[in-house]
Amino acid sequence: MAAIDIPEVQKFIEATPPFLNLTLPQQKQLLTGVSMIYVRQGQRVMLQGESATVHLIRRGACEIRSPKGALVDQIADGECFGVSSAMVQNPDGLHVVALEDSLVYRFDKVRFMEMVEQNEAFGLFFEHTRHNRLRKLSRSQGEELTSPTSQLSTPISHIMTRQLILASPNDTVQAIAQRMTEARVSSILVVENERLLGIVTDRDLRSRVLALGVPSSLAVSDIMTRSPVSLLPDSLVMQAQTLMSESNIHHLPIVDEEQRAVGMLTAADLLRHQELSPLLLINQIHRQQSVESLAHVCKQWPTLIINLIVTDMKPADVGKVLATVSDNLTRRLIELALEKFGPAPMGFQFLVFGSQARQDQSLGSDQDNGLMLEREPTADESAYFSDFSQFVCEGLGLCGIRLCPGDIMASNPAWRMTEAGWKKAFSKWIKSGEPSALLHASIFFDIRCVYGEEEAIKGLIKGMQIEVSKNSVFLATLTRSALASKPPLGFFRHFLLESSGAHKHQLDLKHQGLALINDLARLYGLSCGTYRVGTLERLEQAIREKLMSVDTGRNLMDAWDELNALRLAAQRQHWQATGKASAYLDPKDLSSLERKHLKTTFSIISDAQDVAQQRFLKGYS
Amino acid sequence: MLIGVMQKFKAWHMSRQAMKRAWSDWDYLVLDIETSGLDPKQDNIVSLGWVCIHHGVIDLDSARHMLLEGAEISDNVGIHMITDADVELHGKKQQSVLRYLRHLLRKRVLVIHHAPMELGFLKSSWQQQGLASFSFNWLDTLAIERAKAHRAQQPIQEGGFRLGPCRARYALPDYQGHDALTDALATAELLLAQAAYQGKDCRLHDLNQLGGGRTRLVS
């Protein structure tokens, strides 16, 4: 009797390519020596010795991964792995991990290779499989950080914390509480002769010490959890996750075979590993000790943005989240700069302008920033702030916030001024009415303080507002400039007429749409009694102060949301396809309904521009 | 007499020691028997199917499906899909099949899904055929499943310990046929899954505690 005579084996083989193309005698020959294995979810399949052969999944699912953990392929029922191991001794070190409990046929290597030699079509099938996986492998090796999804088969050692905070059993509760506070960790491992004895977490300190009124001079050994649940460092993330949720714990000590503590894995580490959340990215940002490591962490940023867009977060909220991340990144860089160059010789504020100030950043936004100094610096102090700013701006650049092409950055000495200096600059722009002054106005009038005492810039803003309100000529000039660009209403007619012609029309959603609304909002915002910096907030404020009708205001806010959603979606697509940010939209990608919608959106902007003209340009035009 | 007791004790002790080794260090023979009815005293064996496990993997070359000669099966054709013609053509002498089985079981642990029934038929066949007495260890995948459910305090519904539902809990495929060989293979896969769920260092001892025993067949 042979394996192929077992009815269930025969049925499966006869339905599975390429085996179904073999004759019965060939099937019989190939299946001689075949065995069946069962692999539990999360287990790695051994591919050494007699197991270094082709496997066929009868039921289940597996992942093929590179030695670095990059995903090469995911396979399921009726698909094979171990092809590279059987045919060429697995030179790329691929390994296979069961994603689900899997029942697998393991072919006898000699019989398998016999069939590859004998049957050309059969051999080709597996050559193909192997080459496909090699291609995927080389593609996946391009990315340093693999996609955040399903990294369940990564070993814990890749993500655990190795800098351990340790206590010995005789330490007092108070001493370890201090150590935990200093190190900013929520748990501490108790070890004796390097062996793990127990663990104490924040929760334990609360429930076993504070809640019971136990004296803090007690020894740690009296309150710790003894022989806590632990794992070996080569266990998989998936196993850690299961264990932690089953045992309802958030801290998992990692020990080696001799029970020596080698790492710590927290629930936060797991989350951070799997899903990028803005909070976790911020958390990571604050833990980095160098620009290089910050830049590394920030490589996840585009993925984060894409994730936010994909999860259908409101565009305004996407902007706010990104602003929060970049604010925190900026602050962390400032902290690092202060560590590097020593404390600042005087108080200062780090100001951001433009999109970061308005909180509507997206992929590929560049930086606009400056410094406000407490007083005129001496030559030495000037040099200090020059180094300092250089460090921060370049750091931002390395972290993915592009350097400003117009050099509006703190690293440019022109944008490091005292409060009086800034006031003078604003005043000059408002009075001059030159085109360059207007350009500056559109950037600098959107202003926010991300580091330092916020009060100081309130005075600056107040002064600017008073000056603007007194100067109706400036407001008129600003209005004219805001109305100079018109939304591309003709675009649609054009598109409909010439869709097959030589003109390939693309829509710049930022400059032909969003920027127009931003300009209008700024115009109204500067006339408001209360200063707001975000576009939606400015429009809301303008409605509240009755500078704008509820209808116009609401319509503009909707239009802004609409365009931003389109822009983010277009950016996501473009980014995922090319790895570059672009806010261009190809109308071909829009349905006729979406085109109609977009046309309405542009009419709203156009109408609002007419209203603004009436309001600010009466008697000037 | 004393020497006999000593030898028995020695055998017992060795088997106890060996139990502590990893489960995969042992060889297994997974058996399913089709019978003409439920009562070992009145009914008889129609066919046997088995497959062996070596180094923790199922060796499909070891699969055997044996029809016994002279089996009365006319009433049960619907269940076994075996006809009188099959028996006439392929039927083997019960005694030689059972001797072969005994030979294989010398170095293997017998595995059955729901052991009492199969063991009952083996015992009565042994007596009828006057085969040489011998002892062997066995595991019962149904008993293992029941003990696991009991330990986990998970009530399992009526019929939930039949082979199909047990397999479904380990994501094993749904097998259509229910001949002795298919059920033997299905049981073997179930044992692999149960052992895998016991963790890396699963010993025969652990499985034996969940649902195993030692039986002596006498003529």
Residue A516 has which token pair? 């127009």
Residues of chain A in contact with residue B56, where contact means CB-CB under 8 angstroms, are 37
**What's the one-letter identity of residue B118?**
E
Q: Apex CA B83: angle with CA B77 and CA B85, to 5°? A: 165
Number of domains chain B is built from: 1
Query: A486 or A188: which carries more pLDDT confidence?
Result: A188
Using the structure block, give the residue that is written with the tokens 């127990």. Answer: A198
What lies within 8 Å, CB to CB, of A494 at 6+ separation is A503, A505
Q: How many Cβ atoms from other residues are within 10 Å of residue A555's Cβ?
A: 19
Dihedral-angle region of residue A255 (phi above 0 means left; psi in -120 to 50 means alpha; beta otherwise): beta
**Within-domain flag for B41:** yes
Residues of B in contact with A44 (CB under 8 A): none
Test the A interface: residue of B27, B53, B58, B60 with most A CBs within 10 Å:
B60
Residues of B in contact with A6 (CB under 8 A): 60, 63, 181-182, 185
- CATH topology for A3-141? Jelly Rolls (2.60.120)
Mutate to test the interface with B, among A9, A11, A29, A35 (most CBs of B within 10 A): A35
The verdict on a CB contact (< 8 Å) between A7 and B170 is: no
pLDDT at A579: 67
For residue A370, give the nearest of A297, A426, A431 by alpha carbon: A426
Q: B residues 52-91 near A, CB within 8 Å?
A: 54, 56-61, 63-65
- CATH number given to A475-617: 1.20.120
| DSSP code at position B36 | S
pLDDT single digits (tens) A275-330: 556 777 787 788 888 899 899 888 877 777 776 776 556 788 888 888 888 999 99
Q: Distance between CA A602 and CA A596 in Å, rounded? A: 10
pLDDT score at A474: 83
Q: Can you list the positions of beta strands (E) in A457-607?
A: 507-508, 584-585
Q: Which residue has the higher pLDDT, A149 or A403?
A: A403
CA separation for the pair A548, A557 (Å, rounded): 12
Question: Could you give the angle at the alpha carbon of A396 between the alpha carbons of A394 and A402, nearest 5°?
Answer: 90
Tell me yes or no: is domain A278-453 CATH 3.30.460.10. Answer: yes
Q: Name the nearest CA neighbour of A386 among A359, A357, A410.
A: A410
Which regions of A220-347 does DSSP assign to beta strands (E)?
225-226, 251-255, 261-266
**What pLDDT does A498 receive?**
39
Cα A612–A615–A620 angle (5° rounding)? 100
CB contact under 8 A, A60 and B179: no
Residue B157 pLDDT exceeds 90: no
CB contact under 8 A, A101 and B193: yes
- The residue whose two tokens read 């006439």 is B88
CB contact under 8 A, A59 and B171: yes
**Domain limits for position B141:** 21-217
Q: What is the mean pLDDT of chain A?
A: 84
Phi and psi for A507 in degrees, rounded to 5?
-105, 130
Kindly state whether A35 is in contact with chain B, defined as any CB-CB distance less than 8 angstroms. Answer: yes
Q: Determine contact: A32 vs chain B, CB below 8 A.
A: yes
Per-residue pLDDT reduced to its tens digit, A599-609: 888 888 988 99
The ipTM (two decimal places) reads: 0.86
Please answer whether residues B56 and B195 qualify as being in contact, where contact means their C-beta atoms are separated by less than 8 angstroms.
yes
Start-to-end CA span in chain B (Å) = 21
Q: Which residues in chain B have Cβ-Cβ distances shorter than 8 Å to A2?
A: 61
- Among B56, B60, B179, the residue with its CB nearest the CB of A9 is B60
Token representation of residue B182: 């298919």
Could you say which DSSP state residue A260 is in? B
Judge whether residue B72 has pLDDT over 80.
Answer: no
B189/A9 CB distance under 8 A: no
pLDDT band at A183 (very low <50, low <70, confident <90, very high): confident
Angstrom CA distances, B88 to A6, A381, B82, B92, B94, stand at 21, 107, 11, 9, 13
Q: What is the DSSP letter of B201?
A: T
| Cβ pair B116, B85 in contact under 8 A | no
Residue A270's pLDDT is 74
The shortest CB-CB distance from B171 to any of A36, A101, A106 is to: A101
* Chain A residues with CB-CB distance to B59 below 8 A: 35
Coil vs helix vs strand at A404: coil
Rounded Cα gap, residues A560 and A297, in angstroms: 31
Average pLDDT, stretch A98-102? 86
Report pLDDT digits (tens) over A19-61: 988 999 999 999 999 999 999 988 889 888 888 899 999 998 8
Residue range A156-272, CATH number: 3.10.580.10
Best mutation site among B28, B55, B59, B61 for testing chain A: the one with the most A CBs within 10 Å? B61
Residues of chain B neighbouring A59 (CB-CB closer than 8 A):
171-173
d(CA B188, CA A106) in angstroms, rounded, equals 15
Interface contact flag, B181 A32, Cβ < 8 Å:
no
On whether any CB of chain B is under 8 Å from the CB of A3, the answer is yes
Task: Give the residue on A whose Cα is nearest the Cα of B175.
Answer: A8
Contact check, Cβ <8 Å, A36/B171: no
Which whole-number Å values give the CA distances from A528 to A175, A501, A612, A618, in the listed order? 55, 47, 14, 18
| CA end-to-end distance (rounded Å), chain A | 99
Sequence ranges of the domains in chain A: 3-141, 156-272, 278-453, 475-617
Residue B77 has pLDDT above 50, yes or no: no
The full DSSP string for A331-348 is HHHHHHHHHHH-S-SS-E
In percent, the amount of chain A with pLDDT more than 70 equals 89
The region of weakest confidence among A217-221, A240-244, A516-520 is A240-244
Domain presence at residue B182: yes
In a domain, B9, yes or no: no
**Sheet strands (E) in A410-523:** 416-418, 447-451, 507-508
Q: Do B57 and A31 touch (CB under 8 A)?
A: no
Q: Is residue B3 part of a domain?
A: no
Identify whether the C-beta of residue A238 lies closer than 8 Å to the C-beta of residue A152.
yes
Model pLDDT for residues A483-503, shown as the tens digit of each residue: 888 877 766 555 543 344 444
- Contact between residue A397 and residue A404 where contact means Cβ atoms under 8 Å apart: no
Amino acid in position A618: K
Contact B125, B35 (CB under 8 A): no
pLDDT single digits (tens) A387-436: 999 999 999 999 988 888 888 999 999 999 999 999 998 888 888 867 77
- Token pair 């009145």 in the structure block, residue: B42
Judge contact between B69 and B94, C-beta under 8 A. Answer: yes
Per-residue pLDDT of B104-119, as tens digits, reads 998 999 999 999 999 9
Q: Which residues, 6 or more positions from B94, have their beta carbon under 8 angstroms from its beta carbon?
A: B45, B68, B69, B70, B125, B129
Query: CB-side exposure of A357: number of CA atoms within 13 Å?
Result: 23
**Beta partners for residue A98, in sequence order:** A62
pLDDT in tens, B87-97: 666 667 888 88
8 Å CB contact between A108 and A83? no
B177: tokens are 């046929």
Residue B63 to chain A, least CA–CA distance (Å): 7
Beta bridge partners of A231: A254
Alpha carbons A262 and A253: distance in angstroms, whole number: 8
Chain A residues in contact with B189 (beta carbon < 8 A): 36, 38, 103
With a CB cutoff of 8 Å and minimum separation 6, the contacts of A56 are A16, A19, A78, A79, A80, A104, A105, A107
Cβ distance A37 to B57 less than 8 Å, yes or no, reads: yes
Residue B16 lies in a domain: no
**Domain assignment of residue B57, yes or no:** yes
- Fold match flag (A3-141 vs A156-272): no
Count CB atoms within 10 A of the CB of residue A249: 19
Q: Which pTM value belongs to this model? A: 0.48
Q: Describe the crossing of helices A515-527 and A535-544 by its angle, rounded to 10 degrees.
A: 40
CATH code of the domain in which B47 resides: 3.30.420.10
B180 within some domain = yes
The predicted structure's pLDDT at residue A249:
84
Element holding A381 (H helix, E strand):
helix A379-398
Please name the residue that has the structure tokens 């034996």: B208
Q: Which two tokens stand for residue A499?
A: 């869709």
The CA distance from B18 to B25, in Å, is 9
